[in-house]
Amino acid sequence: MQHSNYKRLDRQRGFTLIELTVVGAIIMILSIVVVPNINGYLVENKVPRIGEEIQRFVARAKVSVQGLGSAPYGSVTTAQIANAVRGSSVFQVAGSGATATVTHDIGASGAAVTLTPATLTSTGDAMQIQFASVNRAACPGLAVVMQKVTEVIRVNGTEVKAAGGNYQPTVAENACTEGDTNQFQFVAR
């Protein structure tokens, strides 16, 4: 009787330590390759929604400043954009009024979105929306989405759309850098 119990135990041994190590190594290699790509896809999928929110803000701002003279955007601040995107699923807003801050989730954690007066022909005749620390997966996609509602677009300081000119996709692509290092400036009036 005891002899048959030993034979049964021999057949129920399971995986060896080497087999488990090989499986663990395969899983680790796959996670190293796949996880960064997943993050890129997630960022890339958020770009259209971010573009829609900012386009909506720009359209409202253009309507609200009609008839306000030659410097209608002279006093814009991040507070205006904070109020417009508060409650959004793609922006985070902290604080209110002059202390409001807006961050996006297509790059580094806590990456800011700011709104300031800009100059196209005279001081305060335009507004500038700046995105800091944008991931490579959103570059130049964010510029593509925003080209119709902005006069000037800069990616990492390189002008990819000049006032009165056309968007230059190749220049934008070449201006993009790896990681969460891309800066976007959109000037609209």
pTM over 0.85: no
In 3D space, the residue among 187, 182, 164 whose CA is nearest the CA of residue 172 turns out to be 182
**Burial class of residue 126 (count of CB atoms within 10 Å of its CB; 0-12, 13-18, 19+):** buried
Question: Percentage of the chain surpassing pLDDT 90?
Answer: 70
142, 170 contact by CB (below 8 A) = no
pLDDT tens digits, one per residue of 24-73? 888 888 877 766 677 788 888 999 999 999 999 999 999 998 888 889 99
Per-residue tokens: 158: 């390189």
pLDDT at 2: 56
Exposed e or buried b for every residue in 162-171, given b needs 16+ CB within 10 A? eeeeebbeeb
123, 151 contact by CB (below 8 A) = no
pLDDT at 32: 76
In 3D space, the residue among 127, 80, 120 whose CA is nearest the CA of residue 100 turns out to be 80
Residues in the chain with pLDDT values less than 70? 1-13, 34-36
Residue 157, phi-psi category: left (phi > 0), alpha (psi -120 to 50), beta (remainder): left
pLDDT at 4: 57
pLDDT at 31: 78
135, 182 contact by CB (below 8 A) = yes
**Burial class of residue 7 (count of CB atoms within 10 Å of its CB; 0-12, 13-18, 19+):** exposed
Per-residue tokens: 125: 């005749």
pLDDT at 18: 84
Residue 169 makes CB contacts below 8 A (sequence gap 6+) with: 140, 144, 160
pLDDT at 47: 94
pLDDT at 19: 83
The domains located in the chain, with CATH, are 38-188 (3.30.1690.10)
Rounded CA separation 138/144 (Å):
10
